[in-house]
Every structure is written in structure tokens, then in C-alpha cells.
Structure 1
Amino acid sequence: MTVTFFSMFFGAGNLIFPAFVGAQAGIATPAAALGFIVSAVGLPVLGVLAVSSAGGFEQLANRVSQRFSLVLGLAIILTIGPCFAIPRTATTSFEMAVVPFSSGTGIPTWVWQLAYSLLFFALSYVVAQHPEKLSNALGKVMGPLLIALIVVLFISCVAIGGSSPTAPMGDYGDNQMARGFLDGYQTMDLLAALYFGIVISVNISQLGVDSPAQNRRETGYAGLGTGVLLVVIYAALSYVGVVSGSITTVDPAHDTGATVLTNLTQTMFGPVGTAFVGLVFIIACFNVCTGLISTCGTYFQRHFPRMAGLRMTYRIWSAVFAVFSFVVSNAGLSAIIKVSVPVLAALYPIAITLVALALVHRVFSVHFPRVYFWTVLCVGLTALLDCIASLADVFGGSLPWLDTALAYLPLHQFQLGWLLPAVIGLIIGIVHSRISPMPNTVGMAE
């Protein structure tokens, strides 16, 4: 089950980000990689544990309010699903695996992409039709194959080595650990962790675990096992990035982690290396795409079984997401990404706040139940204003008054300006809980 969970988490971003960290941080990679691992692994694992202990994401979000639970759930599902992550899986794998070999064929790139994405989403849809059997498709075949490919790449780097590690550059010129922590956000695995538990829970039930408490416990174990595996993989890929950067210097302003991997494989293996890294990307992206389609389809079938008088089954919902993602991946993905990044950045502080409160629920939050509402409210408002300012910048505009106001928040320059509002909300929640105890704390106590 751990490998299944790993396969659902580990996509193209998880491959390219740690490699890019190593290529930029150079000799300071240990500190940078540690910061990256804390946010890219630590937060998602804590998210799995928090959701498991609460009995599910909805039970956790209901501690704020039922309406909040529905709104946040929809926002997360649509953001990590058809509006961003699912289309990106096809586009990224296409650029890594097909584009290098399609030039000179006389066939326009958009035709290749159309054909590739059609096949990609068709196969993902077929596999996603049996979410209870994902452990067979992902855990027993695709996941181990992906891990084996990464191991081969790592061993090759160890054997070949490279020049001395470079000096830190770009964003990693200083404060490498803090920069690595912030870049760990880009995997967005904490948001995914809040809902991947749905599919894992179904798989665990299929193994004969009927007790809800035992099911939650097994889901937590799977999350911890995934965390250990991710730490090892991220450390290996960071080293791969260091070796690649010592062989071919990267341009932090224009290159990406994909460039880092391509430079390395081309240097070591030539065209075969390019095909190799392309295969790795296809497997990683296919795993994540299938897991996301399954997660989104399960969520919408549960919450919206009927639309406009029509019965919406899991099969129909998963088809809707596959088709929508196919269209987006071929038309306008770059615009979707530009808009989605500020939205994702706004959702992350809210998710971190919920997870933190859930982890101390038994010893703290349950005694001050209103801290959920007030803390999330203060963090959410701050995140929303930050999102508006970022979206204005994306569309070529600016809101100087808002930028100035947000700049007064401590740690705003590190994208942590929401911490002070979180503390304020926590204090208000404690005081409010003492002054006016909640008459009904259903779902608050474990």
C-alpha cells in the first residue's frame, strides 16, 4: 500500500524540483534539501495523519463549518485536479518524452500533442475505472518500475560522478534551507494528501480491514511509509542535481529541473538518456494522473450524485474530468498555470492551519473549539488578499495599496505573512471559546 500511495504522490514536479534544488544549491545542497524535504514530505505526511485521526477531510473541515468544508473541498479538488495538475501531467510528459524526437518529422507539434494526450488520458481513464484495484496497477507495477528507473539514474551518477559541486546560485545564493522549504510548496502534496486518503481507504477495505479505526490506522501507516520513501528519493534526486550542475551549469532564470535531468542523461547516455528520462516522466505523470482522476471522480460522485436531473456515476464523473483535462492540456494550459499558482498559494496556508489544529486536537483544540473558525478565518482572509495581489500581477496589473499593506506582515517576503494572522485568530478563538462555549460540539471530540 505504501508504494501505491507513493505512486499517486510522485509526479513530474516531484522529479524536477529536488533535482533543480541540487543544481542551484550546489555545495549547500544538504541544507537546501533538508528544507525541501521538511515541506515536501513532512507536511503531506502530517496531513495524512491529521486527516486519518479526524476520520476524513470532511470531518476535519466540518470543525470550521459544513459550508466551509464543501467550499474548501471543491477548491482543493478542482485545483489539484482538472484545473491544474491533471492537464499538466500530459503536457509535461509530452514535452519530455515526445518533443525531443518529434522535430524534423514534418508533422506539427500540436498534432503530436493532440494524439499523445488523447492516448494518455484514455489509458488513465481506463485504469481509474477500478480505484479499488489501484494497488495492482500502481503499487505492483508502475510504482516499482518508477523507483527502479530513479535508482538506475542515481547509481549512474554515483559511478560517473562529476566535477566539484558549484557555488550556490540564483534563489539559493543565501538562506538555502528557507528557500528549499518554500520550494517544497511547489509539489502541492499537502493538498493532495487531504484527499488521496479516500482511494487508499477503499484499497485497505478491499484487503479485509472493516473496522473504521483500523482503516484509519492503516492509512496513517501507509502515509508514514510513503514519507520515508519520499525522503530517500528526494535525497537521491538532489544529489543527481548536484552532479548535473557540476557537469553543465544551469541558468536559474530560464532552466528548470527538467533541463537539469535532460542535461545529465544526454551527457552520460546521449539520445538513449533522453529517451530514459522521458520514460521516467511518462510513468510518473501517468501514475499521478490516474490517482487524481480516481480521487476527483470519487469525491464528485459522493457529493453530486445528480446534476440537472441526471444520475452522475463515478464512471461519468471520471470521464468528465478526463475529457476536460484533455481539452485544457491542448489549449490554454499556460494561462491556467499562471492563474492557478496564486490560488494554490492561497490554499496552502489554510490547509497547514487545519492540519496543525488537528494534530493538537485531543490536547488543545477540542477544549477551545472556536479556534478552528477564527484561526482559519484570519488565515483565509490574509491568503485571499495575497492571492488577489498575485493575480493582479499575473494579469499585468497592480494594486500598490494592497502590496504595501501585505508588506507590513512579518515574514511576508518568505510567503509566511499568514503566521501572525494565525496567532491572532488562535487567541480570539480561545477567548471566544471561554466566553461563549459552543452548545453543540458534534464532530469535535474524538
Structure 2
Amino acid sequence: MKKIGDIATIGFALFAMFFGAGNLLLPPFIGVNVGSHIWITILAFGLTGILLPFLGILSVTQSGETFNDLGNRVNKNLATVLGAVIMICIGPLIALPRTAATTFEVGILPSFPNSNPLWTSLVFFIVVWLFAIVPSKVVDLVGNILTPFLLVILTLLIVAGIAHPTAMPDASALSTAESFALGFTEGYQTLDVLASVIFAGIIIAATKAKGYHSIREKNKVVIASGALAAVCLLFIYGGLIYLGATAGIANTSIKRSELLIHISNSILGKYGTLAIALSIALACLTTAIALAAAVGTFFSALTNGKLSYKLLVTLTCLVSAVLSITGVDNIIQFAYPPLAFVYPIVITLVLYVVFLGRLVSSKSPYIAALISSTIIAVCNVLNILGLLAPHQLAVLNKIPFFSYELGWVVPSFIAFCLVWGIECLRGNTTQS
């Protein structure tokens, strides 16, 4: 019974970590674009939004107790460089500005249509700064109340939407493969794979605190807890994709925040929309406080205290406030190239450590796989930015899945196997 209780506690903690309020804006928008290709898209989004974050935590668990242990499986400098890139992404570059922009567009704008995002952002980040500078239990209390409340409201929204859909899904202009690719790459915007390898230490510490110290015990608890969190996330994400597909919206360029408000208004009415707006706004605030504190702690430790925690939190809030004014859709659009670069690298590291970590102890195959993923990721970013000539793009499109922005998959696997095979042959030759 104790283990079941521990699994439930850690499982819901995992859910709370991965379930960011900003993520609510992504699935309905995907649903509008994929139309009748609902199930294949739910599968694709689930891979990058649910399964891979869980594997991210598992990869750290199998390597040690922190992201540094995972990075050291490949190179001692990898954890520092990649960790810094990840913290910038989940901090002032993308996730933090998005919390403020989401608060304004979903929590403030529907009730106060003439409000200015500048003042909302200013007030938002002043509050974030005050709580991050002086940690308070109020944040934990509000977060512990808000997460269940938001989950209950969303469950009502999804169940009511499934029982009484506004419209039937239309045929999509996208093919099945294109819908899968959209769901997979839009999952990057959750930032959960990046967050998982950084915040894995929290889950591992919680597991150890409950008496599970061996790798086998930790893995058992993490896997069971991850399965519980995955079921909850799959229900929420899948339900929201379905609501988007059945929203009766023909304009696929609709703003993500407007779409969520339209869906909640259609299903729950204005009071339901107000409840969602309030809970999302407050949830965004608590998430932002946690992220600002995490960024300050990480870079202060990285610089051995040369840059103080308070200075780093202040700079993080200032940069985030400026970027948040541009709006949710602009932040998501701006975020896509950097995420298209860093995500394949992190996914490659996670997948190969989880599935081949016990079989292959040498660092060279992992380095080869990461280099291959990095090269393809750079090429993909150049393509996204429109910097490739037609003949260059024609060559790159010969790489399997490159046109679906998954071109790193096959080259990384070939590079891993090739270097591993060479090392095995050298070992056999030496033994002979």
C-alpha cells in the first residue's frame, strides 16, 4: 500500500510539472488544423508532449541523479553547454514570456478588452520578481489548489465537448503524414522534454526520500508514476485536440488564445470561461515564479556565485517582460527555430541512453549520434528560416523524413551503429 501511495504522489507531481497552463493553447490549435486526422495527431503529440518527457526523467534516473550525470555519459562539458541552452529556452527566451502573454490574452483580455499588455506584463513580472526573490509558501499553497481546480474544470470541458460536440471534424488539407509531423513538432512547444532532464533531480530526490535508493527501485517507481502522469496528460491533450477539431472553426490561422476562449464559451458559457481564465492566469503566475527561481539558481551555480541569484532573477524578469508583450502566437512563432535545433539533440541523448545505455558503455557512439542530429537540426533550422537554395533543399529532402522535420532520426541511428560497430571490431581485433 505504501508503494501505491508513493506512486500516486510522485505521479501527480509529474503531472503538475509537465502540465503547464501555456500548453493548453497548443492542442486545440492542432485539432483545428488536422481536422479528421485526430487519432494519428494525438499519437504524434503524445510522443513529444508525454512519452519523451517521461523518458527524459528515466534517462537521468538510469545515469545518476541530475542532468549533469546524464551529460557526463557523453562528455563532461555537454551538461554545462546543453543545460545552459535548455535553461534559456525554458526561462527568459520562451516559456517565461509565454506565461505572461497567456495570462494577458486568456485571463485579462476577455474581461478587459481595452487593457494594455505592457502594464499587465509589468505587474505580472513585478509579482514574479517579488516571490522569486523571497520564496514563499504562498506559491506552493496556491499551486496545490490551482492544479486540481484547473484539472476539474478541464475535465468538465472535455467531457461536455465530447458528449455534445459543436461540429463534426472537417476533412483536413493536410495528409496523414503531415498531420503526424505537425503533432510531433508542435509537441516541441510544450518544452517538456527540455524541462524533464533538468527537473528530473526533483523527482529522483522525492523518490529517494520515500526510501527507494537502488536504480531498480527508482526505475520501478518512476515508470509506474510516469504511467499515471501519462494517462492524465493523454486525456487532457487528446481531449483538447478533439475539441479543436470539433470547434467548427474554418479559419486555421485563428489565434490560439481566441480559439481556447471560443471553445470554453461554446461549451461552458461565460462562467466556465471565467473560471478557466482565472485558474490559467494564476497557474501561469506560479509557473513563472518557479521558472525564474530555477534560472537564477542554475546560472548562479554555473558562475560559482559571480553572478548573484537576485541579479539573475531580475535580468530574467526584465527580458521576459519585454518579450511577453509581443503576444502568444508571436512567441510561439519566434520559438520554433531554436526549439527545432535543440529538441532533436535532447531527444537523441534521451532515447539512446534509455534504450542502449546498458548495452553500450563507450561514449563515442553517443557523440557520433549527437553530432549527426546536430548537423541535421542546423540544416532544418536553415530550411525553416528560408536560407537554403532549392538545389540544397533537394539534396536534403533525400534524407528520410527530412521533409517532415524528422530528418535527424535515421542519420543519428546510422552514426551510432557505425561507430559502435567499428569499436566492436577493434575490440575483437585487439583480443585476437
Give the structure-1-normalised TM-score: 0.81
Task: Give 1:4's aligned residue.
Answer: 13
Q: Which segment is superposed worse, 420-429 or 176-185?
A: 176-185
1:154 aligns with 2:149: no
1:52 aligns with 2:61: yes
For the residues of structure 1 that align with 2:283 and 2:313, how far apart are their CA atoms?
20
1:184 aligns with 2:187: yes
| 3-state secondary structure, aligned to 2:77 | helix
1:250 aligns with 2:250: yes
For the residues of structure 2 that align with 1:203 and 1:297, how far apart are their CA atoms?
22
1:298 aligns with 2:297: yes
Task: Give 2:4's aligned residue.
Answer: none
Task: Give 1:409's aligned residue.
Answer: 399
Task: Give 1:278's aligned residue.
Answer: 277
Task: Give 2:236's aligned residue.
Answer: 233
How many Å apart are 1:201 and its aligned residue? 4.6
Q: Deviations over 1:110-145 (max 9, x none)?
A: xx3233223322333455468796994466222112
1:42 aligns with 2:51: yes
Q: Which segment is superposed worse, 74-83 or 225-234?
A: 225-234
Task: Give 1:75's aligned residue.
Answer: 85
Task: Tell me the amino acid that sits aligned with residue 354 of structure 2.
Answer: L
Q: Deviations over 1:230-289 (max 9, x none)?
A: 1121222233224423xxx2311x114433322223334554354334224314423432
Equivalent of 1:141 in 140, 145, 167: 145
Q: 1:420 to 1:384 in 2, by over 3 A?
A: same
Task: Tell me the amino acid that sits aligned with residue 158 of structure 2.
Answer: F
1:89 aligns with 2:99: yes
Q: Deviations over 1:345-370 (max 9, x none)?
A: 1111111111111113444222x431
Task: Tell me the amino acid that sits aligned with residue 323 of structure 2.
Answer: V
Q: 1:326 to 1:130 in 2, by over 3 A?
A: same
For the residues of structure 1 that align with 2:178 and 2:405, how far apart are their CA atoms?
14
Corresponding residue pairs, total: 416
Q: 1:103 to 1:13 in 2, by over 3 A?
A: closer
For the residues of structure 2 that align with 1:137 and 1:77, how far apart are their CA atoms?
25
Structure 1 unaligned runs (5+)? 438-446
Task: Tell me the amino acid that sits aligned with residue 406 of structure 1.
Answer: L
Task: Give 1:360's aligned residue.
Answer: 355
For the residues of structure 2 that align with 1:304 and 1:45, how far apart are their CA atoms?
30
Q: 1:355 to 1:134 in 2, by over 3 A?
A: farther
| 3-state secondary structure, aligned to 1:343 | helix
1:289 aligns with 2:288: yes
How many Å apart are 1:290 and its aligned residue? 3.0
How many Å apart are 1:400 and its aligned residue? 4.0
Q: Which segment is superposed worse, 287-296 or 167-176?
A: 167-176
Task: Tell me the amino acid that sits aligned with residue 113 of structure 2.
Answer: S
1:97–1:282 Cα contact (<8 Å) kept: yes
For the residues of structure 2 that align with 1:328 and 1:167, how far apart are their CA atoms?
35
For the residues of structure 1 that align with 2:35 and 2:44, how far apart are their CA atoms?
14
Q: 1:405 to 1:138 in 2, by over 3 A?
A: farther
1:194 aligns with 2:197: yes
| 3-state secondary structure, aligned to 1:81 | helix
> How much identity, in percent, do the aligned residues show?
28
Q: Deviations over 1:296-334 (max 9, x none)?
A: 233223222333xx5x23x44333322321233236987
Equivalent of 1:116 in 120, 124, 136: 120
1:387 aligns with 2:396: no
Q: Which segment is superposed worse, 62-71 or 269-278?
A: 269-278
Task: Tell me the amino acid that sits aligned with residue 398 of structure 2.
Answer: Y
1:132–1:203 Cα contact (<8 Å) kept: no
Q: Deviations over 1:32-53 (max 9, x none)?
A: 2222223321111111111121
Task: Give 1:444's aligned residue.
Answer: none
Task: Tell me the amino acid that sits aligned with residue 42 of structure 1.
Answer: L
Task: Give 1:102's aligned residue.
Answer: 112
For the residues of structure 2 that align with 1:420 and 1:361, how far apart are their CA atoms?
16
1:18 aligns with 2:8: no
Task: Give 2:5's aligned residue.
Answer: none
For the residues of structure 1 that align with 2:321 and 2:382, how far apart are their CA atoms?
28
1:125–1:319 Cα contact (<8 Å) kept: yes
How many Å apart are 1:415 and its aligned residue? 0.7
Q: 1:138 to 1:388 in 2, by over 3 A?
A: farther
How many Å apart are 1:74 and its aligned residue? 1.1
Structure 2 unaligned runs (5+)? 1-9, 428-432
For the residues of structure 1 that align with 2:193 and 2:359, how far apart are their CA atoms?
23
Q: Which segment is superposed worse, 129-138 or 419-428?
A: 129-138
1:89–1:285 Cα contact (<8 Å) kept: yes
Q: Deviations over 1:354-395 (max 9, x none)?
A: 1111113444222x431111111111122123223433x3xx
2:157–2:267 Cα contact (<8 Å) kept: no
For the residues of structure 1 that align with 2:166 and 2:274, how far apart are their CA atoms?
22
For the residues of structure 1 that align with 2:224 and 2:126, how far apart are their CA atoms?
32
Q: Which segment is superposed worse, 93-102 or 281-290?
A: 281-290
Task: Tell me the amino acid that sits aligned with residue 75 of structure 1.
Answer: V
Equivalent of 2:417 in 427, 437, 440: 427
For the residues of structure 1 that align with 2:203 and 2:134, how far apart are their CA atoms?
12
Give the structure-2-normalised TM-score: 0.83
